[in-house]
Amino acid sequence: MNKGLPYNPNNSIKAEDKHVLFIAGAPSHGFGNHEHYGGSQLLASTIEEADVGVKTTVINGWPADASIFDDVHSVVIYSNGGPGHPIMDHLESFNEVMERGVGFVTLHYAVEVPKGEAGNKFIEWQGGYFETDWSVNPFWTADFNEFSTHPIQRGVKSFSIRDEWYYHMRFADQMEGVTPVLTDLPPAESLERDDGPHSNNPHVRESVLQNEEEQHVAWAFERTNGGRSFGFTGGHYHWNWGHDQFRRIVANAIVWSAGADVPQDGLQFAPITALELAELTDDPIPDDWDHQDIQDMLDKANN
- In this prediction, residue 54 has a pLDDT band, given cuts at 50, 70 and 90, of very high
| pLDDT of res. 9 | 42
Return the H-helix or E-strand segment holding 276: helix 274-278
pLDDT in tens, 60-69: 999 999 999 9
User: Does the pLDDT value for residue 278 go beyond 90?
Assistant: yes
User: Does the pLDDT value for residue 117 go beyond 60?
Assistant: yes
- In this prediction, residue 4 has a pLDDT band, given cuts at 50, 70 and 90, of very low
Q: What is the chain's mean pLDDT, rounded?
A: 94
What percentage of the chain carries pLDDT values higher than 90? 91
pTM of the entire predicted model: 0.94
Lowest mean per-residue pLDDT among 2-16, 130-144, 149-163, 198-212:
2-16
User: Does the pLDDT value for residue 16 go beyond 90?
Assistant: no
3-class SS of residue 299:
helix
- In this prediction, residue 5 has a pLDDT band, given cuts at 50, 70 and 90, of very low
Q: Strand ranges (DSSP E) for the chain?
A: 18-24, 54-60, 74-78, 103-107, 128-129, 140-144, 159-163, 170-171, 178-184, 215-222, 228-232
User: Does the pLDDT value for residue 6 go beyond 70?
Assistant: no
What lies within 8 Å, CB to CB, of 219 at 6+ separation is: 127, 128, 169, 171, 178, 179, 180, 181, 182, 230, 231
The span from the CA of 20 to the CA of 14, in Å, is 13
pLDDT in tens, 237-269: 999 999 999 999 999 999 999 999 999 999 999
| pLDDT of res. 14 | 58
User: Does the pLDDT value for residue 7 go beyond 60?
Assistant: no
- In this prediction, residue 12 has a pLDDT band, given cuts at 50, 70 and 90, of low
- Region 79-108: mean pLDDT is 97
The span from the CA of 163 to the CA of 39, in Å, is 15
Query: Between vectors from CA 97 to CA 2 and to CA 25, what angle results, nearest 5°?
Result: 45
What percentage of the chain carries pLDDT values higher than 70? 95
Beta bridge partners of 216: 183
For 167, which DSSP code? Answer: B
pLDDT in tens, 218-244: 999 999 999 999 999 999 999 999 999
For 202, which DSSP code? Answer: H
